[in-house]
Amino acid sequence: MTAGALFGATGVLFGAFGAHALGSQLTSTLLHAWETAVSYQLSHAMALLVVGIWGRQIEVNARTPTAITLAGWSFLSGILLFSGSLYILALNGPSLFGLLTPIGGAAFIFGWLALVGAALRR
């Protein structure tokens, strides 16, 4: 839950920074990339909070990660890779970091599918 709260706070900070400091500095395409990064960061910060709450309600065996644990790590990785690469893209233009964006997107998808699996097991 700590990661969800931290990503939520920084998502709001990055959103405000993009709107107030970068709005006139970036092209519309790069500003859209920044806004997309913020949107995905904030929505998956909320998902991390839900995963944290859900995870506390079930037993977690430290040797065998549950679907809830996998979902949490997937969302965390997705935020870092997807949103992080888009922030870098917006500030620095296209680079090799752009290759991380689809990997982060796949991590988000995997996290949601892990939650489906956890829900079906209940």
- pLDDT for 67-111, tens place per residue? 999 999 999 999 999 999 999 999 998 889 999 999 999 999 999
Determine the pLDDT at residue 94: 87
Under 8 Å between Cβ of 119 and 93: no
Question: How is the chain split into domains, by residue range?
Answer: 2-121
Under 8 Å between Cβ of 67 and 114: yes
Q: Which two tokens stand for residue 80?
A: 């870092």
Determine the pLDDT at residue 40: 98
For residues 14 and 114, what is the distance between their CA atoms, to the nearest angstrom?
28
Determine the pLDDT at residue 64: 54
For residues 16 and 12, what is the distance between their CA atoms, to the nearest angstrom?
6
Mean pLDDT for 11-21 is: 97
